[in-house]
Amino acid sequence: MPGNPPVVVHPPSPSGGRRVTVDGEILGLAYGPRDVVEFLRRAGLDENVISIDDPQLIEWRGGGSDEWS
């Protein structure tokens, strides 16, 4: 998959949570890794093969998958 990853998890917001987008479309506000997986499942990806640490799939901005506040 050339170019930027299609999924972006944006920096934590001051009020909590992180915005998740796929190809620029907002999927929702995640409060943990399980929320990210659920959003991607709803977007049509198989939750059994989703790796939130896959840089080809997800770009983490403002901290990695362990940064939520």
CA distance 50 to 45: 7
Instruction: Count Cβ atoms below 10 Å from residue 39 Cβ, excluding itself.
Output: 20
Q: What is the pLDDT of residue 69?
A: 79
Decide: residue 16, CB within 10 A, 0-12 exposed, 13-18 middle, 19+ buried: exposed
The pTM is what? Answer: 0.89
pLDDT tens sequence across 10-49: 999 998 899 999 999 999 999 999 999 999 999 999 989 8
pLDDT tens sequence across 45-65: 998 989 999 999 999 999 999
Q: How confident is the model at residue 2 (pLDDT cuts 50, 70, 90)?
A: low
Q: What is the pLDDT of residue 32?
A: 96
DSSP-derived pairing of the beta strands 25-30 and 58-60:
unpaired
